[in-house]
Structure 1
Amino acid sequence: MRNLEHIPRIYVGTYGQYNNGSLFGKWFDLTDYVDRKEFLQDCFEFHRNELDPELMFQDWENIPDFLISECSLHKEAFAYFEATGEMDDETAEAFNIYCKQINYWPSNGYELDDQLEGFRESYQGFFGVSGKDAALEYAYQYVEDTGLLSGVPQAIERYFDYEAFAKDLFLEGYSEHEGHIFTDY
C-alpha cells in the first residue's frame, strides 16, 4: 500500500444485528488479507455468535464505490488494490477516475489486466497543477511534444491560439477529469 491514509477498510456488521437495533461490528483492514475469501472467512468468524450471519458492509474507506455495496465486495477488489498499491498516488487517482468515469470497470466485463492496459494507453498525465486550466496546459505540452510549430518563425508562433487549439483537441479525442487528461480512443 502507498501509505496509511489510503488503506482500504470496511466496517462489517450483520443484517440480523442491524434489524435488532445494533450496529455491532468491526473495522477490517483489507491489507491484512491475501484475498476476498480470506477476508470473508474472518468476517464470518468474527460474527460466529450468529447462527447464519448475513454480512452487512455498513461503512468503508478508500474503496471505490464500483467495487463495493452494502452487501458485497467485488471479486476483483483485492487485485485492484494490489495494482493501485504499486502506483503513485496521482496515477492511482487517475486509474480510479478511468474505471469510474471513462471505461466503467468492472461492469464493462474486462479483466483487470485489460483495463490496466487500456488505462496506460489512454492516460496522458496530470495537468491540473496550481489550479491552472488542465486542457490548456495539455495543449501547450502537446504542441511541444509533437513539434507542431517546429520550423515556424517565432514572430508567427506568437500568434498561435493555444486556447482555441485546446478547445478543438478536447472536442475531438481528449477528455479532462479533475486535471487528469485521457485520450477518448
Structure 2
Amino acid sequence: MKNLENIPKIYVGTYGQYNDGSLFGKWFDLSDYSDSQAFYKDCYEYHRNEFLPELMFQDWEYIPDFLISECSLHEDTFKYFELTDEMGEERAEAFEIYCSKIVSWPSNGYDLDETLQGFEDAYQGYFSRSKDPELEFTYQYIEDTGMLSDVPELLQRYFDYEAYARDLFLDGYSQYEGHVFMD
C-alpha cells in the first residue's frame, strides 16, 4: 500500500446505528494494519459504545469489489495488497483485471497463490502505445516467435497482420484495457 494517493480505505459504521438513522462511523486506512485481525480489532474498539456491534462497510476507496462487501472484507485482502505492492503499477492493474474479469477470484475457490501463478502464466504484457493493442501485440508476437524469419523480406510485406491479430484474439488470447492475457 505504498502509493499514498491510492491508499485503500473503508468507512466503517454499524448496522445498529444505520437502522437508527445515523451514518456515524470512521474512515479506516488499511495501510495502518498488517492483517485483518488488527483492522477488525480497531473497528470494534471504535464502536465499543455499542453492545455487540455489527460492522457495516458503508463506503470504500481503492479496494477492488471482489475483496469487499457491505459486511465483510475477504481474508486475503492484506495479502493481496502486499502482493500488488511488490508489483509495478502496470502489473498490479493487470492482476486486478485478471482476478476480477478473467478468473473471478476469490469466488472461484482458488487460493491467492494459485491465482498469482495462473496470472504469471497468462499475462503477456501491456500494449497501449498504439490505438490497437491487439495489433501491437500481434507484431510483437510474430517478431518474438520468428514466425516470418524464414520468409523472404519481399513476401513479408504481404502478411496480413490485422487478420492474424483477429484470429489470435478469437481463440487463445484476450485483451482488457491494453493488457493481454493468454486464455
Q: 1:67-119 CA distances to partner (integer Å, 9 max, x unpaired)?
A: 10000001111110111111111100100000001011111111111110000
**What is aligned with 1:128?**
128
Within 2, Cα distance between the matches of 1:20 and 1:106?
33
RMSD of the TM alignment (CA)? 0.9
Q: Does the aligned pair in 2 maintain the 1:95–1:119 contact within 8 Å?
A: yes
Within 2, Cα distance between the matches of 1:125 and 1:21?
48
**What is aligned with 1:23?**
23
**What is aligned with 1:174?**
173
TM-score (norm 1): 0.96
Identity %: 68
Q: 1:125-160 CA distances to partner (integer Å, 9 max, x unpaired)?
A: 010235x11100000000000001102111111111
Of 93-102 and 2-11, the range deviating more from structure 2? 2-11
Q: Does the aligned pair in 2 maintain the 1:2–1:89 contact within 8 Å?
A: no
Q: How far is the alpha carbon of 1:29 from its aligned partner?
A: 0.6
Within 2, Cα distance between the matches of 1:39 and 1:60?
14
**What is aligned with 2:104?**
104
**What is aligned with 2:47?**
47
Q: How far is the alpha carbon of 1:34 from its aligned partner?
A: 1.2
Question: Partner letter of residue 54 of structure 1?
Answer: E
**What is aligned with 2:159?**
160
TM-score (norm 2): 0.97
Q: How many residues matched?
A: 183
Within 2, Cα distance between the matches of 1:140 and 1:164?
12
**What is aligned with 1:147?**
146
Residues 62/162 of structure 1: CA separation in 2 closer, same or farther (3 Å cut): same
- Secondary structure at the aligned position of 1:113 is classed as helix
Q: How far is the alpha carbon of 1:19 from its aligned partner?
A: 1.1
- Counterparts of 1:36-115 in structure 2 under 5 Å? 36-115=36-115
- Which runs of no fewer than 5 residues in structure 2 stay unpaired? none
Q: Does the aligned pair in 2 maintain the 1:67–1:73 contact within 8 Å?
A: yes
- Which runs of no fewer than 5 residues in structure 1 stay unpaired? none
- Secondary structure at the aligned position of 2:51 is classed as coil
**What is aligned with 1:119?**
119
Question: Partner letter of residue 153 of structure 1?
Answer: P
Q: How far is the alpha carbon of 1:16 from its aligned partner?
A: 1.0
